[in-house]
Amino acid sequence: MSTIQIKDKKFALSITDAEIQAAVCKVAEAINRDMSGKDPLFLCVLNGAFMFASDLMKNVNVPCQITFIKLSSYEGLYTTGVVKEIIGLNESVVGRTVVVVEDIVDTGITMERILASLKAKGASEIHVATFLQKPDALQRDIQVDYIAMKIPNDFIVGYGLDYDGYGRNLKDIYTVVAD
C-alpha cells in the first residue's frame, strides 16, 4: 500500500483519483438534472474545495456562475470550532439559487455558518454539494443535498485537503496512520 510522509505524520492511500473522478461525475449529473433553468450561483469555499469545484464545474453543463469565499477553522489535525472569514462574498445573492461547494462537512460548524449567512443575505434557494462527509463527526443539523463520498471519522489529506497547509496538491486521498 502506498504511504507518504507529511511533516510528522504518515498517511496511507485510501481513495484513488479514479474513484474520486467517478464520484464527482455522479454529483455533476445530479446537479445538471436539478439545477436546469435555475441560473445557480456556485459558491466555492476556499481553500479546501478548489479541486472539487474545478472538477465539478467542468462537468456541470447548466448556465451558471461561480464565486469564492475563504474560511478557516482547522489548526493541524483538529477544528478550532471558530470559523474565521478571510475573504467574504462580494456578489448579491438576493433571490438567487446558491449551491455551496465544500471539500468536506466534518462537524458541520462551517456549513451552518455559511448557510445562516446566505439566508440572511436573501438567497431564495440554498443547496450544499460536498465532496466528502464524515457522518460520525457531524454535530449540527444541516441538510447536505449532494455528497460525492462518505468516509470514516479519520483525518485525511489530498484533493484540496491539507495537513498544516501541505498535501492539497495530491490527486488521491490519504488517511493518517496512527503512530
In whole angstroms, the minimum distance from the beta carbon of 112 to ligand IMP comes to: 8
Least distance to Mg ion, CB of residue 72, Å: 9
Question: Choosing from 8, 39, 103, 106, which is the catalytic residue?
Answer: 106
Options 108, 128, 173, 174; binder of ligand IMP; rule CB under 6 A? 108
Query: Of 86 and 92, which has the nearer Cβ to ligand IMP?
Result: 86
Q: Is residue 8 annotated as part of the catalytic site, yes or no? A: no
Please report how close the Cβ of residue 34 comes to ligand IMP at its closest, in angstroms.
23
C-alpha distance from residue 149 to each of 9, 28, 86, 99, 100 (Å):
24, 13, 27, 17, 16
Query: Which helix (H) or strand (E) segment is 5 a member of?
Result: strand 3-6
Query: Would you state the torsion angle of the CA atoms of residues 103, 176, 163, 59, taken in this order, to the nearest 10 degrees?
Result: -30
With b for 16 or more beta-carbon neighbours within 10 A and e for fewer, the 40-65 pattern comes to bbbbbbbbbbbbbbebbbeebeeebe
- Cell numbers given for 27: 454529483
158 counts as binding ligand IMP under rule CB under 6 A? no
Catalytic residues: 106
| Binding residues for Mg ion (CB under 5 A) | 45, 48, 103
Residues forming contacts to ligand IMP in the complex (CB under 6 A) are: 48, 73-74, 79, 102-111, 155-156, 161-162
